[in-house]
A and B are shown apart, each in its own frame.
Chain A
Amino acid sequence: MGSIVLDGVCKSFGSVEIIKGVDLEIADKSFVVFVGPSGCGKSTLLRLIAGLEDITEGKVLIDGADVSRLPPAKRGLSMVFQSYALYPHMTVRSNIGFGLKMAGMAKDKIAQRVEAAAAKLNLTPYLDRRPGQLSGGQRQRVAIGRAIVREPKAFLFDEPLSNLDAALRVQMRLEIATLQKTLGTTAIYVTHDQVEAMTMADKIVVLNAGKVEQYGTPLELYERPANTFVAGFIGSPKMNFVSEQNVAGQYGATSIGVRPEHIVIKRDGQGWPGRIAIAEHLGSDTFFYVESDVGRITVRTAGELGLSTGDQVRLNPDPARIHRFDKDGNAIRTLQ
């Protein structure tokens, strides 16, 4: 079991408030990603759950028990750090087994568990090496091995893939997601990479300036963003916002948002007139950056349309996929 509940959690460093009252319920066996721009408090929130930082106010509950004042070791969680944080003076075997040794487990039992964890992560040939003799991906696996061997209530990942190159990152992303599903252990994963968030998460927590902006499944966040921040943060390229009164007003909103993939671009006909400032041809997709009467608009189309830089075009947003926001930037849900 590994359900985690945050109840009004606040954290201040001196007079600076980093986490401003976070309430969250993380279901057992789920994979939850904390995402947000740098400095939003996502790592701090993870460290508060881990117990590496003391919370200023509020409570952290694991399986219903208040662990707010317990040291990290007593919370039954394990953590994978961005820097891997392996013990450089120990072999892979000792690195993975360290937690079990600290727990006072018998040597033969430790050996057994370490071998099993290593086999899961294809680390068996490297058990007697030291971290310094391993590649980045292998070190990351050791860090994960150290986390799984203790059979914790939940895994905490603090931007674990940001030190890896792009290809390895995609591979490890899959491996972590698969591993979490097979083990059925709750996982909390911190990242600033929204692609990681969208692909791995059962549920995403979007954080901004120490507050939860929205908590939902990846598709909920994509299709029904709660406010302009979430709308702009989730999705790549970013959502277009139009706050021209004569346009937004038509929809009864202060501003409207349209995702680049929900705009039809044509040479002529109806719609917002504009001129293609830059066209990026990726083969599978084409991105157009259009200077239009309603501002700069990004358009994403599948395949090639034969349009290029300098062309005059007309833009037509899909009316069913226009997001409406009020003057505070919150989504307007009521129908017109």
Chain B
Amino acid sequence: MARAVTPAHRITVTIAAWAVGIVIAFPIIWMVLTSFKTELEASSLPPKFVFFDWTVENYAIVQQRSDYLHHAMNSLIIAGGSVLLALIIAIPAAWAMAFAPTERTRGTLLWMLSTKMMPPVGVMVPIYLFFRDFGLLDTRIGLVGLLCLANLPIVVWMLFTYFKEIPKDILEAARMDGATIGKELIHVLTPMAVPGIASTLLLNFILAWNEAFWTLVLTSSNAAPLTAFIASYSSPEGLFWAKLSAASTMAIAPILVLGWFSQRQLVRGLTFGAVK
């Protein structure tokens, strides 16, 4: 028997859900509100929620002081490039692990994932020196490579899980039909795994877009993405809350829009493997 849903029950659940939603979204709402305040009002106590003098001056100042488009373009290139590169490496890797496993496959997967458990700061010095010696500091190509490697374990894991759901028979049928491994990947496996590949791409694009540690350590101006753009407004002295908020709002806007339009794919990506 299905559980009976009384109106009272429904109202309680609705209120509770909204409360949780608002709590979770509060930092973002607060950031957006603050970006429209003057610096004085942004740091006033008690804080003002809606009744303040709305202004867009912060956005004007931020745009004037730093080149938003330059940073946004860097973010796009670094996040997009690293994810595409990771997919090119991970699709064959996940294919091998899903369809031609050996007794060490499980161990290899766990080892790959274990690298994500290491705090990046642990390898900061060697990587910094490596970047310096190879002239990769403040270059987009350096960050594309580094973020690709950083996200590769997750990309491989996600694709592996999706590929596991594809019946082996179909790939064998392709082999009987004369497809070489390359053609099997391009004509059969990849098109069948499009939903999985799309959610992997989206999720890892967002991860790379938001990556702040390496982008702040390894860039200064040329290759600086939006994370660096935000960080340049965080200062121990002076009143920069409103401008920082405006910069942050501008930095997350593209990803927010992307996330909004790809909610379905993202949810599938976040719960990957959980539901068949």
Q: Are A52 and B175 in contact (CB under 8 A)?
A: yes
B168-203 contact mask (Cβ, 8 Å, vs A): 1 or 0: 011011111111100100011001101000000000
Interface centre among B173, B175, B178, B183 (most CB of A within 10 A): B173
Q: Please state if B187 and A73 are interface contacts (CB–CB under 8 Å).
A: no
**Using Cβ atoms and an 8 Å threshold, which residues of chain B touch A88?**
170, 192
B236, CB-defined interface residue at 8 Å: no
Contact partners of B172 in chain A: CB under 8 A: 52, 72, 79, 81, 85
Q: Which of B170, B176, B178 has the most CB of A within 10 A?
A: B176
Say whether A233 faces chain B, with CB atoms less than 8 Å apart: no
Q: Which of B174, B175, B176 is within 8 Å of A87, CB to CB?
A: B174
Chain A, residue nearest B184 (CB): A102
Q: Is the interface of B mostly helix, strand, loop or mixed?
A: helix
Q: Smallest Cβ distance from B83 to chain A, in angstroms? A: 23
- B21 contacts A by Cβ under 8 Å: no
Interface of A is mostly: loop
Total interface residues on B, CB under 8 Å, equals 18
| Cβ A81 vs Cβ B173 within 8 A | yes
Per-position contact with A for B152-179: 1 when CB-CB < 8 Å, else 0? 0000000000000001011011111111
- The docked-state distance in angstroms from the alpha carbon of A72 to that of B171 is 12
Taking the closest CB of chain A, its distance from the CB of B29, in whole angstroms, is: 42
Residue A50, interface by CB 8 Å: yes
A residues near B192, Cβ cutoff 8 Å: 87-89
- With a cutoff of 8 Å between Cβ atoms, the chain B residues found around residue A81 in the complex are 169, 172-173
- Distance, CA A89 to CA B170, complexed state (A): 11
Q: Is A86's beta carbon under 8 Å from chain B?
A: yes
Q: Are A79 and B178 neighbours in the complex by a CB distance under 8 Å?
A: no
Asked if B169 and A83 make an inter-chain contact with CB atoms under 8 angstroms apart, the answer reads yes
Nearest Cβ on chain B to A155's Cβ, whole angstroms: 11
Closest to B168 in A: A85
A98 touches B177 (CB 8 A): yes
With a cutoff of 8 Å between Cβ atoms, the chain B residues found around residue A85 in the complex are 167, 169-170, 172-173
Pick the contact of B179: A50, A102, A146 (CB < 8 A): A102
Q: Which residues of B contact A102 (CB under 8 A)?
A: 177-179, 183
A136 to chain B: which residues have CB within 8 Å?
none
Residues from chain A with a CB closer than 8 A to the CB of B188 are: 87
Q: B20: shortest Cβ distance to chain A, in Å?
A: 38
Q: How many angstroms from the CA of A147 to the CA of B183 in the assembled complex? A: 19
| A310: interface (CB < 8 Å) | no
A-B residue pairs in contact (CB < 8 Å), sample of 16: A52-B176, A72-B175, A73-B175, A73-B177, A77-B176, A81-B169, A82-B169, A87-B174, A88-B192, A89-B191, A98-B187, A99-B177, A102-B177, A102-B179, A102-B183, A150-B177
